[in-house]
Structure 1
Amino acid sequence: MMALGFLSVLSAGLLMGILHAFDPDHVMTMSSLGARPDARGATARYALSWGVGHGGILVIAALALLLFDVPMPETLPKGAERFVGVILIAAGGSLALALWRSRGGDQPPSSLRSKAPFLIGMVHGTAGSAAVFALLPIGLLSPLLGVLYVLVFSSGVLIGMMGFGHGLDRVQTLIATQARTLDKPLRGSVAVLAIGMGSYWLVGA
C-alpha cells in the first residue's frame, strides 16, 4: 500500500515536471534560441541541454537540502528570478540582431551559443527551486526518496522540453519549406515577444 502511494506521488511529480517545462518563460526562452537563423533544426538539442541544466541544479540543491540540511541561500532563487528577465531580453535582442544581419544563409551555431541552453537551464532551475521544494511532499518521503522525487520531477521537465523542442523544429521546418514568406516575420515576432516578456518579468520580479 505504501509502495503504491509512493508510486502515485512519483507519477504526480513526473506529470508536474512535464507541465513545468511549458512555463511561459521556459517556452519563450527556448523559442528565442531555436528561432535564430544559425540554430535551425537545433532546438531539440538545445532542449536536451536546457533540461539537463535545469534538472541538474535541482538535484544538486535537493541533495544539499535533504541529505546534508544545507538550504540554498534565499537570495539565490530571487536573484535568478530577476536574471530570467535579463535572459529573455538578451535572447530576444540577440534573435532580432541575428535576423537583421541574416542574408538568407543558415550557419551552424557557434560552440559558445551551443552551451548557452545548459547555463540558461541552470538559471531557470535555480529560479524555480523555491517553488519546487515548497511543493515537495516531505512528510511522505525520506530524504533519499525526496531526492528521487526531485529526480523524477526533473525527468518530467526534460521530457516536456524535449517534446517542445522537437515540435518547434518540425514547425520551423514546415514553415521554411511551405510558407517561406512567413518565416522571418514569425521569428521577428518571437524576438519582440521575448523582449516584451523579459521587460515585464523584470518589473514584476
Structure 2
Amino acid sequence: MIALGLLPVLGAGLGMGVLHAFDPDHMVTMSSLGARPDARGATTRFALSWALGHGGILVLAALALLLFQLPMPGALPAGAERLVGIILIAAGGSLALALWRGAAEERRPSALRSKTPFLIGMVHGTAGSAAALALLPVGLLSPVQGLVYVLVFSGGVLLGMIGFGQGFDRISALIARRGRAIEQALRGCLATLAIGMGSYWLWSA
C-alpha cells in the first residue's frame, strides 16, 4: 500500500508529466507528423505511440537504476538532445516535401512512418528534461516507490499527449473546412517552424 505521505509526490509527478507532454519540441514534432496530408486525423494515434515509447524507456532506465544501481550514461541525454534537433528538422522537412509533392489526402501513413512516433518518444524520453523530471526523485524513494513514481509521471505524459493529439486533430479538421489554401499555408508555417527550431536546437546543444 502506498504511504499517504507519498501521495503529494505522486500528484506532483502526475502534474509534471502532463506539463512535460506540452514541451515545445514535443508539440512541434508531433504537429509536423500529424499535419502531413497522408496523416489526417492520425495525431491522437501518433501521440499514444509517442507516449508509450517515452514512458517505456523511462521505466527501463528506472529499473536499471533501482535494481542494479546503473544510472543513465551521462553522454546519453546530451546525445539525445542533439538527436531531438535532427528529428525536428527531419519532421519539418518531411512535411514540406509532402506539401510540395501534393500527397494524396486519402493515403494513410506507411507502416514505417506509423512506428516513427514510438521511436521519437524513446529519444525524447532520454533527453535532458525527461530524465531529470522522472529519474532524479527516484533516488530519494524506495525501489517500489521510485518505480511507481516513474509510472505515474509517464501516465501524466500519456494523458497530456493524448489531449494534445485530440486537440490538434479537431483544430486541423476545423481549419480544413476554411479552405485548402489556408490549410496549406499553415502547414507550410509549421514545417518552417520545425526546421527552424531543430536548427536552433542543434546549434545550442
Backbone CA RMSD of aligned residues: 1.5
Q: CA deviation at 1:76?
A: 1.0
User: Secondary structure of 2:92's partner?
Assistant: helix
- 1:103 and 1:147 mapped to 2: Cα distance? 44
Match of 1:182 in 2: 182
Match of 1:138 in 2: 139
CA contact (8 A) 2:25 2:88 kept: yes
Q: Structure 2: 5+ residue runs without aligned partners? A: none
Alignment of 1:17-56 (within 5 A): 17-56=17-56
Which ranges of 4 or more aligned residues in structure 1 deviate by more than 6 Å? none
- 2:46 and 2:151 mapped to 1: Cα distance? 20
Whether 1:192 aligns to 2:165 is: no
CA contact (8 A) 2:19 2:157 kept: yes
Q: CA deviation at 1:91?
A: 0.3
In the superposition, the TM-score normalised over structure 2's length comes to 0.94
Q: CA deviation at 1:133?
A: 4.8
CA contact (8 A) 2:37 2:103 kept: no
Distance 1:43 1:201, change over 3 A: same
- 1:173 and 1:133 mapped to 2: Cα distance? 34
- 1:134 and 1:108 mapped to 2: Cα distance? 37
User: Secondary structure of 2:193's partner?
Assistant: helix
- 1:172 and 1:153 mapped to 2: Cα distance? 28
Match of 1:16 in 2: 16
Identity %, equivalent residues: 69
Alignment of 1:99-114 (within 5 A): 99-102=99-102, 105-114=105-114
Q: CA deviation at 1:103?
A: 5.5
Higher mean C-alpha deviation, range 120-129 or range 93-102: 120-129
CA contact (8 A) 1:38 1:107 kept: yes
Q: CA deviation at 1:180?
A: 3.3
In the superposition, the TM-score normalised over structure 1's length comes to 0.94
CA contact (8 A) 1:92 1:195 kept: yes
- 2:138 and 2:109 mapped to 1: Cα distance? 41
How many matched pairs? 203
User: Secondary structure of 1:136's partner?
Assistant: helix
Match of 1:172 in 2: 172
Match of 2:153 in 1: 153
Q: Structure 1: 5+ residue runs without aligned partners? A: none
Match of 1:121 in 2: 121
CA contact (8 A) 2:92 2:195 kept: yes
Counterpart residue type for residue 123 of structure 2: V
Q: CA deviation at 1:36?
A: 0.3
